[in-house]
Structure 1
Amino acid sequence: MKKKSLLFMLIALLSFGLLLAACGGETEDPAETETETEGEEGGEAATGEPQKGGTVTAAMFSAPGHQFNPIFYADSYEANILDFTHEALVGLDENLEFIPELASDWKFNDDFTELTYTLEEGVKWHDGEEFTAEDVVFTYTAIADPAYTAAGGVRVDYVNQLVGYEEYVAGEADTFEGVKADGDYSVTFYFKEPSITALQYTSFPIIPQHVFADVPVADMPAHAASRDAGSVIGTGPFQLTDMQEGEQYVLSAHADYWKGAPYLDSVVWRVVDNAIMTGLLQNEEIDMVGLPGGVPSTDAADVDALENVELVQDQDFGYQYIGFKLHHSEGEQEDWTDKSGWVVNEKLKDVEVRQAIAYAVNRQGFVDGLMDGQGMVINAPFPEASWAFDPEAVNQYDYSPEKAIELLDGAGYKDTDGDGFREDPSGNKWVLNLDYPSGNQTRERTAPIIVENLAEVGIEVNMRSPREAAAHFELVEKNNTDWDMYLAGWGLSTGDPDPSGIHRSTAPYNYLRWDDAKSDELLDAALKTPEAFELEYRQEIYNEWANYFSEQLPELPLYSANVNVAFNTKFHGWTVKPRMVNDDAHLWWVEQ
């Protein structure tokens, strides 16, 4: 098995170096950096030149949610399609430094409030139209549109730092001043304040203006160009040309791809049960098991033993967690980020209850028993792969039913009717609903164990039947009033560990409905410039935030797992970067 040791403490420094150098496209020689991160490249052992033609079949364990417009997609399975069809201005290399993509170069002004990109020329959309700066302006203006969040969009973090966002989203301005084109091949982003995350938040996939120009933002999610094979248009090396919903998705080579025509004819994603994944690899019915999830840790040894498969192990920036629904939405909210419609969930409002749950759940048992030790328990949403990880900064919740019982007793949750389960402090029946998605075998297996663990300390849990991931997260977002706990995964951006996207109270992904002024204050402080250009400052703030998070526990992080991805030995040209295996697909090829 190929294993990589990833030490990312210098990642932020590398990224900040790009910012402070105020230039783009020039990165340090990897041999001269201190980071030990390296991309794994496939195909070195192949003889001869790359061969044209053929198909790579890849496996994913849950069906995409049928939204193939980047500004509206919701799950990682949809992202597996978009990785091939759409592109951003910049990307990340194996050292997590920003590199040119649709932009050939970039520069900042003196006070880091303006970021100007020079775009590649001659880039063609799948339908033959030319990519220009107007497409970039159109994409970010659509995300800033007043109808965007009501239509289901959740990417406002990509625009809310820009000049004029508040006025435009409120309908007080006719144009969005935060991004402007200067000719066909230059575009400038204008930030309200110096931004340390400017490159990250200008790295969103671009959609075609000529396709959506006459489509109201409210109607975009249902439009054929967001949903239908053959109608989804991007600049990427492959186009979605056919699909059998929930079964397979066919991506065909874009012959006029600006980096050069792909070697492959097609890439096919098959939706398979991970229980049969090893057999499919062995029989060469699939050539790749990528992300999300990858090869389950329980199957890694068997897959590694296959002579026709190469297994690559990596640490992940993601983690699994139990989400606590701290507020519910009152009635139908067009904009569910509007906190005026939030109602406290009385069943989980006491921090002692959430802390008791943390002590009661045997998370180390998940790592040891379900994952063969290939992962670690975390107590804050910074996995070990992140430079923000510091186990000394957080409150520890080692498995202790005794401490859980003590906390529950002290908070007034006691078994008053002798049925073995606790009532709330008012003597009312107290049952917590638990919902979880299918598609991740390890996560599915944790659900009944969580129920058993909590029953041992007197907490009654109603575990509901699992749903497909798309349906599960649609309900998580809708915030139904009978939801209490849910299982999910989250991944930090590889560009920056800022956890605001899920934990700031006004964030569209704040599915927890955590409303905490101190948390918001610390998250904002971590991005305050010029102080935040110093890594030590940000580490200190994130340590303070992680400590507070682990005290309040708006969610219970369960574990961060090692990631295993697998490739048929006849499949070459692939690259494994942190959390990325779909990059540079135009260079993929198979031995015929």
Structure 2
Amino acid sequence: MKKGLKGLFSVIILSMILSACALDSSSTKDSSASDKKGNTESSSAKSTEVKEYKATNLEALPNKTKARKDTFIAGISAPGGVFLPYFYENGWDGNATDPMFAPLVNLDPTGKPVGILAEKWDVSSDLLTYTFHLRKGLKFSDGSPLTADDVAFTLTLLHDPAYAGEQDISLTAIKGGKEYKEGKVKSIEGIKVVDKETIEITTEEVNAKSLLILGGQVLSKAYYGKDYQFGKLDYLKELYPKPLGAGPYKFVKYVPGQEIRYVANEHYYAGTPKMKNLIFKVIDTSTSLQLFETGELDYAGFSADDDTVEQLKSLGFANLEVGPVNDYGFIYVNNSRPQFKDKAVRQALVYGLDRQKIVDVKFKGYGTVANVPVSKVSWAYNDEGINKYEFNAKKAKELLDQAGWKVGSDGIREKDGKKFVIRYLTRTADDPIIPIAKENYQDIGIKFEPEIMDFNAIVAKLGTKDYDFAAVSTSQILDPSDPVEEFATGNANNAAGYSNPKVDELIKKGLNTLDIEKRKVIYHDLYKELNDDPPVILIHYRQSAKAISGQIEGLHPDNFTGISASLPNISIKK
């Protein structure tokens, strides 16, 4: 459950360049779903289904695969060697830490919380106090005990003023946390160790995301805290390449540019994993299909298309899952610029763009048009009563006329002496949005000019709002609040420059209750408001293909934990 860089904005931008922060060449987090069946649906249908193709000929397994009797190999793209939760900035390092560091609470395949190191938890009636009950006899991989003191140390470390990692612990508003960070007190009032297996955490604001943040991966106080001094965290850098956690696997070695090796942790709370050895092989994602075909990998993920799916099916030895990814693609619209401030103009820009054609060209049957800002696998997804903005050039022209943008002698609309020109930032010249948007927008009197630039240049322009349009995709969505929080007025990550008081209110309400059924209603209302007053142009939901060697049993990639939740249970078929 990681976000790679600080804040949602950074993650969204990061996802434009990272293709697979979770051992999956098709997404920033390994994201196949666990439910079964068909892989095509209308854009209005809610589908979390996956289409499965079972291996038909295990005799066709590559010799390299057959030779492995106690080892599982998956690909990883570009780890940086910072193997410490909360401190890495490279999302791949986050994936590398998952086998070694277990959280108190994780997400199940439906996106709902489930206990890992915490046997259970209680939340007070005012929703401000969380009491975690740890499982008995927990140990770190060196055999040392894991207790509530370690949880308290982890949360305290995240409040240290020298901490500059990706986890914003302030979101939980732990009582006394701000005072500790400012050096006014020596301990955090809201963190109370009741006994070695119980910790009580009191917060000052209700936040639906607090459970997962407070219940994150646990660091050993004895190991990571032995040299701790307030305001001084540089000592931890020496421990980045020497991780110690309580996950199903323990670290063996890292060979930069080649592999990360792990061995089963005999102290893991659920028992020693069935697979003795785990290897994350450092790969170029462009070669992952070849590596899977030749037996170098037991698992690989790909962007879904007919050629790839058919090629994987033809191998005979692969179990294949094709299904939705837990993200969505969209185009940022710079609402702070005069031409985009008018809601009617933004509506016209959605009507005037053939999004279905873009999806068809880009995903060739393995994607659908997005109409609400959350993935289809989320429990919050609901597009009932939502305007689908089906391609309608006539409607777009009417709205632009009403907004005062009149067609000039050159066919380009203008208002107050300013031509309607959209400059679109993208990283690739073969972006299918370019030719489609050029044609569509020219037809309604708008000039569309693509600007091809590198990742860092796009990040800089988005950060300073020096753009008109920019194509992006969200990272993996753990909570429905994740992708919409940035639309709140004044949010530091509000790259769209959007402001709507009703949206602000609904975003806040969505976080101020822990009741999922109540949150569903709130987010549906929010989606309706964002649909009527669109801050961005939603484009697509997509699918990916997951290939698993037919001799591997127990591996079930999902949209929230990738392959990490399955790791303790995988084995080689006898």
Pairwise same-fold verdict (TM > 0.5)? yes
Pairing of 1:538-577 with structure 2 (within 5 A): 538-577=519-558
Q: Which residue of 2 aligns with 1:452?
A: 438
Name the SS of the counterpart of 2:212 in structure 1. Answer: helix
Aligned equivalents of 1:490 and 1:234: distance in 2? Answer: 29
Q: Decide whether the 8 Å contact of 1:386 with 1:497 is kept in 2.
A: no
Q: Which residue of 1 aligns with 2:72?
A: 56
Pairing of 1:289-328 with structure 2 (within 5 A): 289-290=300-301, 295-296=304-305, 299-326=308-335
Aligned equivalents of 2:111 and 2:379: distance in 1? Answer: 12
Name the SS of the counterpart of 1:556 in structure 2. Answer: strand
Aligned match for 1:360, one of 346, 349, 352: 352
Q: Which residue of 1 aligns with 2:196?
A: 184
Q: Decide whether the 8 Å contact of 2:52 with 2:320 is kept in 1.
A: no
Closer, same or farther: CA 306–143 of 1 in aligned 2, 3 Å: same
Name the SS of the counterpart of 1:136 in structure 2. Answer: helix
Q: CA deviation at 1:426?
A: 4.4
Q: Which residue of 1 aligns with 2:104?
A: 89
Pairing of 1:222-301 with structure 2 (within 5 A): 224=237, 228=240, 230-239=241-250, 242-243=253-254, 247-258=257-268, 259-262=270-273, 263-274=275-286, 276-290=287-301, 295-296=304-305, 299-301=308-310
**Partner letter of residue 331 of structure 2?**
I
Q: Percent identity?
A: 23
Aligned equivalents of 1:360 and 1:221: distance in 2? Answer: 53
Q: Decide whether the 8 Å contact of 1:159 with 1:165 is kept in 2.
A: no
Q: Which residue of 2 aligns with 1:523?
A: 507
Q: Decide whether the 8 Å contact of 2:53 with 2:313 is kept in 1.
A: no
Q: Decide whether the 8 Å contact of 2:48 with 2:324 is kept in 1.
A: no
TM-score by length of 2: 0.75
Q: Which residue of 2 aligns with 1:137?
A: 152
Q: Within the alignment, does 1:583 sit opposite 2:565 as a pair?
A: yes
**Partner letter of residue 289 of structure 1?**
A
Instruction: Give CA-to-partner distance per residue, 1:205-264, whole Å, 9 cap, x none.
Output: 2334442565679876995368x5x3344322335655566x554131254441334423
Name the SS of the counterpart of 2:119 in structure 1. Answer: strand
Q: Within the alignment, does 1:432 sit opposite 2:423 as a pair?
A: yes
Aligned equivalents of 2:279 and 2:355: distance in 1? Answer: 37
Q: Which residue of 2 aligns with 1:393?
A: 385
Closer, same or farther: CA 222–415 of 1 in aligned 2, 3 Å: farther
Aligned equivalents of 1:220 and 1:295: distance in 2? Answer: 43
Q: Decide whether the 8 Å contact of 1:126 with 1:254 is kept in 2.
A: no
Name the SS of the counterpart of 1:575 in structure 2. Answer: coil
Closer, same or farther: CA 522–501 of 1 in aligned 2, 3 Å: closer
List gaps (5 residues or longer) in structure 2.
1-31, 40-46, 60-65
Closer, same or farther: CA 223–444 of 1 in aligned 2, 3 Å: farther
Aligned equivalents of 1:404 and 1:68: distance in 2? Answer: 51
Instruction: Give CA-to-partner distance per residue, 1:292-337, whole Å, 9 cap, x none.
Output: x6555652233233201111133333212222344xxxxxxxxxxx
**Partner letter of residue 189 of structure 2?**
E
Pairing of 1:482-521 with structure 2 (within 5 A): 482-490=466-474, 493-494=477-478, 499-505=483-489, 510-521=494-505
Number of aligned pairs?
A: 522
Q: CA deviation at 1:550?
A: 1.7
Closer, same or farther: CA 429–555 of 1 in aligned 2, 3 Å: closer
List gaps (5 residues or longer) in structure 1.
8-34, 327-343
Q: Within the alignment, does 1:463 sit opposite 2:495 as a pair?
A: no
Aligned equivalents of 1:284 and 1:571: distance in 2? Answer: 12
Closer, same or farther: CA 152–99 of 1 in aligned 2, 3 Å: closer
Name the SS of the counterpart of 1:99 in structure 2. Answer: strand
Instruction: Give CA-to-partner distance per residue, 1:152-185, whole Å, 9 cap, x none.
Output: 535346523x333454556655433333322333
Q: Decide whether the 8 Å contact of 1:88 with 1:204 is kept in 2.
A: yes
Q: CA deviation at 1:141?
A: 3.0
Instruction: Give CA-to-partner distance per residue, 1:358-409, whole Å, 9 cap, x none.
Output: 2333221233333232232122213333333222333332223444444445
Name the SS of the counterpart of 1:462 in structure 2. Answer: strand
Q: CA deviation at 1:81?
A: 1.9
Q: Within the alignment, does 1:153 sit opposite 2:162 as a pair?
A: no
Q: Decide whether the 8 Å contact of 1:251 with 1:266 is kept in 2.
A: yes
Q: Which residue of 1 aligns with 2:6?
A: none
Q: Decide whether the 8 Å contact of 2:438 with 2:448 is kept in 1.
A: no
Aligned match for 1:376, one of 332, 357, 368: 368
Q: CA deviation at 1:546?
A: 0.7
**Partner letter of residue 461 of structure 1?**
E
Q: Which residue of 2 aligns with 1:163?
A: 175
Q: CA deviation at 1:123?
A: 4.0
**Partner letter of residue 211 of structure 1?**
Y
Q: CA deviation at 1:434?
A: 0.9
**Partner letter of residue 106 of structure 1?**
W
Closer, same or farther: CA 273–175 of 1 in aligned 2, 3 Å: same
**Partner letter of residue 138 of structure 1?**
F
Name the SS of the counterpart of 1:317 in structure 2. Answer: coil
**Partner letter of residue 278 of structure 1?**
L
Name the SS of the counterpart of 2:474 in structure 1. Answer: strand
Aligned equivalents of 1:567 and 1:217: distance in 2? Answer: 46
Aligned equivalents of 2:175 and 2:54: distance in 1? Answer: 43
Aligned equivalents of 1:487 and 1:251: distance in 2? Answer: 37
Closer, same or farther: CA 295–81 of 1 in aligned 2, 3 Å: farther
TM-score by length of 1: 0.73
Q: Which residue of 1 aligns with 2:135?
A: 120
